[in-house]
Amino acid sequence: MNIATLDHSDIRNVVLRFDGPGFPVVTVEAPARGKTLGVTFLLSPGFCLFSVSAAMEAFGTANRLAGREAYRWRFVSVDARQVESDAGITIECGTDIALDRHGIGASEPADIVFVASDRPVSPAVMGRVKRYLHGMYQRGARIVGTGRGALLLAEAGFLDGRRCAVHWQHLPEFDQRYPKADVDCHLYESSGRVITCAGQTASLDLAMNLVRQDLGADIALQLCNHHVVEQVRPARHRQRRPDTSSIEITNPRLGAAIALMKANLAEPLPLVQLARRIGMSRRQVERLFEFEGQQAPARFYLHVRLEQAQKLLQTTDLPIVDIGKTCGFISASHFSKCYRKRFGHSPKREREQDED
């Protein structure tokens, strides 16, 4: 760990050791193994129960493996005391942010704050969330945004200039609303004490990674064995995103239309011409794609071209400009704009990631 990049609150115990003549060796020791870490799950209506449960399971199992209460958690709501999850299961919270922020109710120190959200919140509630999170951060807590919680962190100003991870479903919205954030489609990202996570199963990977940081590699390895996973997936592991090839094709005309799209990437066929070549009207093709492919044919065609561009970026050394032209983009700027909207980062970043 490079001490020059540490936030002062990350430095739990700095030790200077002199190994003979010369400069002292600076080491940063891990948190005391006997400390109980407080975890606050900040819940908003419609939060992903799976993401929260995965993190709780990792912390609870870590307690049993460590033979002590290494983690203690509680639930805090953004508004009402009872919060219904996306699964329809209601969680009873001990307090809400208004009371907790002023130390009223079951207030406890928080070392980690998990912001669990999968729905937008109102501006009024967002204002309270922002004040609450900044207060917790100033007290030294690690702030974690899971699922749409990453968007709440961005709205609260935590992600300006920071690298962050967002679920692929939220990438287009996130990239448009928060251009100052360095967003990507990884499982999770840590930037000092600000952590973002795609949610779902990535929440388990993140929680196990936090356990490894807090309790050591041995406990983390036992945790992997318990959860029957080979290893904790690294933060930079890319999310699996659905693409056009994942659509089950049962209609032969749909298959013929997609085959024509893939055969005409450099010069995309106008929809009218594509429809004529498979013996359908334009409106019939639109209905076919909307029913079978769950999207408009023009959007599907664009995704086919972008996925081919992604494959070329990852597997060839062709210049980015040439790849754009090969996939039917008339200018580098248009290619970059469409690519970023689809994948959350530029073609240049795609190639840099592949080289990491």
pLDDT computed for residue 322 by the predictor: 93
pLDDT of 328 reads 94
The CATH number assigned to the domain with range 37-226 reads 3.40.50.880
pLDDT at 126: 92
pLDDT computed for residue 23 by the predictor? 38
* Type of residue numbered 287: R
Distance CA 274, CA 262 (A): 12
Q: Please name which of 226, 154, 166, 164 lies closest in space to residue 195, comparing C-alpha atoms.
A: 164
Domain ranges of the chain: 37-226, 244-355
From first to last of the 356 residues of the chain, give the pLDDT tens digit: 333 333 433 434 444 443 444 434 433 344 445 789 999 999 999 999 999 999 999 999 999 999 999 999 999 998 878 999 999 999 999 888 877 766 655 456 789 999 998 888 888 889 999 999 999 999 999 999 999 999 999 999 999 999 999 887 787 678 778 888 988 778 999 999 999 999 999 999 999 999 999 999 999 999 999 998 888 888 878 776 656 665 666 778 888 899 899 999 999 999 999 999 999 899 888 888 877 766 789 988 999 999 999 989 988 889 999 999 999 999 999 999 999 888 888 999 888 875 55
Does 37-226 match 244-355 in CATH topology? no
- Mapped onto helix, strand or coil, the DSSP state of residue 122 is coil
The pLDDT value recorded for residue 261 is: 93
pLDDT for the residue numbered 55: 96
Which amino acid belongs to residue 254?
L
Q: The domain 244-355 is classified under which CATH number: 3.40.50.2300, 1.10.10.60, 1.20.200.10, 1.20.1050.10?
A: 1.10.10.60
Beta strands in 60-213 (DSSP E): 71-77, 82-84, 90-92, 95-96, 112-117, 142-147, 163-165, 182-184, 188-191, 194-197
Report pLDDT for 49: 94
12 to each of 9, 35, 140, 183, 266, how far by Cα in Å? 7, 12, 11, 29, 56
CA distance linking residue 127 with residue 161, whole number of Å: 21
Q: What's CA 340's distance to the chain center, in Å?
A: 16
Strand partners, 115: 42, 145
Residues 6+ apart with CB under 8 A from 100: 76, 106, 107, 132
As given in the structure block, the two tokens for residue 183 are 């967003």
pLDDT at residue 295, rounded to an integer: 77
Distance, CA of 335 to CA of 324 (rounded, Å): 6
Amino acid at 53: S
CA-to-CA distance for 159 and 207, rounded, in angstroms?
20
